[in-house]
Amino acid sequence: MRTRRKSRTVIARKVIAALRSVVVAVSATFAAVAAAFWARSYRLMDSAAVPGDRAWVLAKSAGGMIEVVYGTYKETFLSDTGARLTRPFVAPPFQQRESFHWDLWAASRRPDDYSWRAAFIAYHWRDMSARGGARREIYIPHAFLFIALSGPPVLWIFGLRRRSRREWAAGGKCAQCGYDLRASPMFPGPLLSRCPECGRDR
């Protein structure tokens, strides 16, 4: 019974380790893509649209920012721009608005307009009932997206370092640099009290 429980624990740990590796690999890949688009956004403005009769989505990447617009009214310019467009970056519309600022938290509400800003993310809703719907906009900096996606790989690297130190200490090695502290070639033998490589006390 105890052996079976131990084997299940080992299998569960292996599954968790495999899932962690997949999450780290996917996060690192998306972080690299975000960094590439971040650098590209200062030279080119990329836009992609999903047109529709009753609803449409438009995404822009320019000037270090990502703008996603969702509308529930008919927009004519989407049929002209096509599904994807790339052009030289001049100044995206959201940088031309004088009323758009970054704050830790701010919100404004009017009968036909509502917006809030939380740190680096902003949301804007506009009533477009005259055209049969509404317009919703969200703004996210590329830097914020890159930092969020880089979190799992960075934590994995630090965790790998801690695991290595624990394994070194358990194997009779220095937890700081991995130097073999065994005074005798036969393990387990007497360990040196101080690491001769880095000077760390055991």
Note whether 178 and 74 are within 8 A (CB): no
> 1 falls in which pLDDT band (50, 70, 90)?
low
**pLDDT of 30 over the 50 cut:** yes
In this predicted structure, what is the pLDDT of residue 29?
A: 93
In this predicted structure, what is the pLDDT of residue 31?
A: 93
In this predicted structure, what is the pLDDT of residue 36?
A: 92
Token pair 């009968």 is at which residue?
Answer: 111
Average pLDDT in the 188-200 region?
70
Average pLDDT in the 31-40 region?
92
**pLDDT of 81 over the 60 cut:** no
Mean pLDDT computed over every residue of the chain: 76
Straight-line distance from the first to the last Cα atom of the chain, in angstroms, rounded to the nearest whole number: 38
DSSP-derived secondary structure letter, 190:
P
**Residues facing 140 on adjacent strands:** 66
Q: What is the pLDDT of residues 84-131, one digit of tens each?
A: 565 555 544 444 444 445 566 777 888 888 888 887 788 888 888 777
Average pLDDT in the 48-57 region?
81
Average pLDDT in the 66-81 region?
75
**pLDDT of 51 over the 70 cut:** yes
The model carries a pTM of 0.63
Higher pLDDT, 141 or 118: 141
In this predicted structure, what is the pLDDT of residue 103?
A: 64
Q: Return d(Cα 174, Cα 195) in angstroms, integer.
A: 6
